[in-house]
Amino acid sequence: MTKIVLTGGGTAGHVMPHIAMIPAYKKWGWQLTYIGSAGIEKALIEKEAIPYHTIATGKLRRYLSLQNFTDLFRIAKGFVQSFQLLRKIKPDLVFSKGGFVSVPVAYAAWLLRIPVVSHESDLTPGLANKLIAPFCRFLFYAFPDTANHIKVRDKAEAGIPVRPTLFRGNKDRGLTLCGFERGTPVLLVMGGSLGAERINKALQESLRDLVDQWQVVHLTGKGKGIAFSHPRYKAFEYVNEGLEDIFAATDAVISRAGANSLFELKALRKPMLLIPLDIGSRGDQIHNAESFAKQGWAMVLSERSLTPETLKDHLNRLKEESDKQVASMTKSGAQDDGGEAIIQTLSELLKKK
């Protein structure tokens, strides 16, 4: 039986693509083990009933800090733990999703002559993947523009694997959940929790006009609701069960530009207006949004230009260009198949091992 060790963590973005691929791994009959930190990845992976091993981890910062010194010892300990675990597990391949916990695992695998494969979700590679890249047999990347930033010889655009459950939504259930009717298009607004106030404020001042043309479902973020009541407006702080049904009922989306969300919307072929987090951010969402716009997969409205007037103007344009966006997404070379193409490539690599 083929044994695969998965690694990556620190944020949900380094874990969810692994989880999205679990049904495909099981389809191929591969045995999975996860090596990670005691952080968010532990709770997420253990829910999937996959054997989990915790190692020590530290962060390599790009600035002077005493913790850079102390964390070196934690990273060294994590390397020793990884080396011991990999010798015991004897995997055929290590698949990293990035994050600092993956660095000692990848280095230990390389020393043990276990092939290392990585996946980069961001447009520009993070520090962990930059450190891993020289030891990788193959590197997948999400954004078409990322190829220019990667020096690994063997690489391929793969998008970001999305959860198969997202494709199982039912439009009628989604409309019922929101109290909406058929016949009027549905606009989904996902402001997120970070910086959502700016989107929420512009939306609140636009809603009286928007409900003439749209039924609006609004994921406000926790504690960030707005004062507006109308039969064509439904707000949720967040949605756990039924999100796939809301997606199925949705005709267009206003969203931030986090990588995982973008590729979920692309896989679902949803026309989107992106308002990337700008003020107070390091700019990664701006780069994500610009890349999607360049491919014809999205329209972008700068957060600094966001007003009720610009919001309504861009939504009118989105209505006109939605078919064009969907056509561009459909022509994309990246796969939206829950990781099947990635696993096919892994299988080919294992044959050459």
Q: Which domain CATH number covers 261?
A: 3.40.50.2000
Q: What percent of the chain has pLDDT over 70?
A: 92
3-state SS, residue 86? helix
- CA–CA dist 120, 201 (Å, integer): 34
Q: Using pLDDT thresholds of 50, 70 and 90, give the confidence band for residue 57.
A: confident
**Structure-model confidence comparison of residues 338 and 16, the more confident one:** 16
Cβ contacts of 350 within 8 Å, gap of 6 or more:
2, 92, 93, 115
**pLDDT for 195 beyond 50:** no
In the numeric block, which tokens belong to residue 240?
């756990």
In the numeric block, which tokens belong to residue 44?
């997420």
Judgement on whether residues 71 and 169 belong to the same structural domain of the protein: no
Judgement on whether residues 246 and 311 belong to the same structural domain of the protein: yes
**pLDDT for 285 beyond 80:** yes
Torsion of CA 15, 18, 19, 20, to 10 degrees: 120
Average pLDDT, integer, range 24-33: 93
Q: In the predicted model, what is the mean pLDDT of the chain?
A: 90
For residue 164, the model assigns a pLDDT of 87
Average pLDDT, integer, range 165-181: 96
β-strand pairing of 138-141 with 155-157: parallel
Judgement on whether residues 252 and 186 belong to the same structural domain of the protein: yes
> Most confidently modeled of 67-81, 125-139, 282-296, 303-317?
303-317
Cβ contacts of 91 within 8 Å, gap of 6 or more:
3, 4, 5, 33, 109, 114
Q: Which domain holds residue 225?
A: 165-331
Sheet containing 233-236: which strands, arranged edge to edge? 233-236, 215-219, 186-190, 252-255, 272-274, 299-300
Tally of domains within the chain: 2
- CA–CA dist 114, 110 (Å, integer): 6
- CA–CA dist 130, 14 (Å, integer): 15
**pLDDT for 68 beyond 50:** yes
Judgement on whether residues 190 and 144 belong to the same structural domain of the protein: no
Judgement on whether residues 116 and 219 belong to the same structural domain of the protein: no
**pLDDT for 281 beyond 80:** no
Q: Using pLDDT thresholds of 50, 70 and 90, give the confidence band for residue 77.
A: very high
Average pLDDT, integer, range 324-345: 83
Q: Which of 93, 90, 38 is nearest to 351 (CA)?
A: 93
Which amino acid would we find at residue 244? E
For residue 332, the model assigns a pLDDT of 77
**pLDDT for 194 beyond 60:** no
Angle CA 119–297–214, to nearest 5: 125
Judgement on whether residues 11 and 157 belong to the same structural domain of the protein: yes
pLDDT digits (tens, 9 = 90+) for 226-248: 889 999 999 998 887 899 999 99
β-strand pairing of 155-157 with 186-190: unpaired
- Could you please report the per-residue DSSP string of 237-287? S--STTHHHHHHH-SEEEE---HHHHHHHHHTT--EEE----TTS-SHHHH
Q: Which residues pair with 155 in a beta bridge?
A: 139
Can you tell me which residue has the tokens 């609006």? 216
Average pLDDT, integer, range 313-335: 90
Judgement on whether residues 63 and 189 belong to the same structural domain of the protein: no
Judgement on whether residues 346 and 213 belong to the same structural domain of the protein: no
Q: What percent of the chain has pLDDT over 90?
A: 68
Judgement on whether residues 84 and 195 belong to the same structural domain of the protein: no
Cβ 257 vs Cβ 274: under 8 Å = yes
**Structure-model confidence comparison of residues 277 and 4, the more confident one:** 4
Q: Which of 323, 161, 177, 299 is nearest to 249 (CA)?
A: 177
Judgement on whether residues 198 and 258 belong to the same structural domain of the protein: yes
Cβ 285 vs Cβ 277: under 8 Å = yes
* Helical (H) or strand (E) element with 5: strand 3-7
In the numeric block, which tokens belong to residue 103?
């660095």
**pLDDT for 81 beyond 80:** yes
For residue 65, the model assigns a pLDDT of 59
Judgement on whether residues 135 and 259 belong to the same structural domain of the protein: no
DSSP 303: G
User: What is the pTM for the complete model shown?
Assistant: 0.86
Judgement on whether residues 70 and 216 belong to the same structural domain of the protein: no
